[in-house]
Structure formats: C-alpha cells, structure tokens
Amino acid sequence: MRAVVQRVTRSSVTVDGVTTGEIEGGLNVLLGVSAEDTEADAEYMAEKIANLRIFEDEDGKMNRSIIDAGGSMLCISQFTLYGDCRKGRRPSFIEAAQPDRAVVLYEHFMSEVRRLGIEVASGVFRAHMKVSIENDGPVTLIIDSQKNF
C-alpha cells in the first residue's frame, strides 16, 4: 500500500460537481493499493499515518500527530500511485490491485483510521474526482507498506 500524505489547512473532493468529502485541518491522503497488499498493510498504514508527528507543537516543532492535533483525514483512492513509468511513455498499472480487491482494502484502511478516533472523509472509489488541496507547510510525505524510503 502506498500513500502520499499531505498536511493541509483544508481539502475537498468533488464528483460530478457534488462535494463528497471535505475537511478543515488535518491530512489529505492519496492511497494506492497494490496487488500484493493485505489487511495487515492497511492496518500498518493506518497506524503509521495516524501517529506521524508532523503537526507543530507549542514550540513550533513537528511533534504532534493528527490524533494529538485533533485533525481530520480526507482519503482519496489513487491507483495511479502504482503507475510504473520506467519503460515507454504510458505508465503500466500492473502492480495496482484489481478494483474489487482494492476497494476492500481502501475501506479497511479508513475503518482502521476511524477506530483510532480520527474523522475520515472520502472520495468515491473508481470515480473521476476533482481534489482541492491546500497544503500546509508544505508538508508532503510518501509512505509505502512494502518499502522503506
């Protein structure tokens, strides 16, 4: 499982002109699911992202998690995070999970985040979405349950 995590002051997603998810302050998470991922990957990613100390404390140091900061999360499914661009000009998405498997793990990830006490908004799986992200910092991290960056 792979995620692009951004600390945001606000973020929203619309589908066909209708807002399906919106947050004020917290994390925007673009989440990709690989063909190799399991529920353990979703649980690892939920714990890892929820406990990242990337929010400022009273001294201005990045020392607080989204849980500590009381923020929300907007989670957007993003199979293109598994696009392999090494050969040719068109990305290969062979590493991405098939939609029926990906949706289960995407939902499991969000369920685990909610279990940790974080409010989660989301896009619509497999829909064409327009995402608005107001990055705070900017702070952007890439996390992969299978690799160490």
Share the mean pLDDT of the chain. 96
70-126 pLDDT per residue, tens:
999 999 999 999 999 999 999 999 999 999 999 999 999 999 999 999 999 999 999
pLDDT of 24 higher than 70:
yes
pLDDT of residue 55: 98
For range 64-74, the mean pLDDT: 98
pLDDT of residue 147: 80
Task: Identify the band that residue 8 occupies on the pLDDT scale cut at 50, 70 and 90.
Answer: very high
Residue 54 DSSP label:
-
pLDDT of residue 148: 56
| Residues near 23 by beta carbon (within 8 Å), at least 6 away in sequence | 8, 10, 11, 12, 71, 72, 73, 74, 119, 121
Residues with catalytic roles:
78-80
For range 43-60, the mean pLDDT: 97
Domains and CATH numbers, the chain: 2-142 (3.50.80.10)
| Residues near 140 by beta carbon (within 8 Å), at least 6 away in sequence | 4, 5, 6, 7
For range 5-25, the mean pLDDT: 97
Strands 62-64, 55-56: pairing is: antiparallel
Task: Identify the band that residue 149 occupies on the pLDDT scale cut at 50, 70 and 90.
Answer: very low
| Residues near 74 by beta carbon (within 8 Å), at least 6 away in sequence | 8, 11, 12, 13, 21, 22, 23, 26, 27, 28, 29, 120, 121, 122, 123
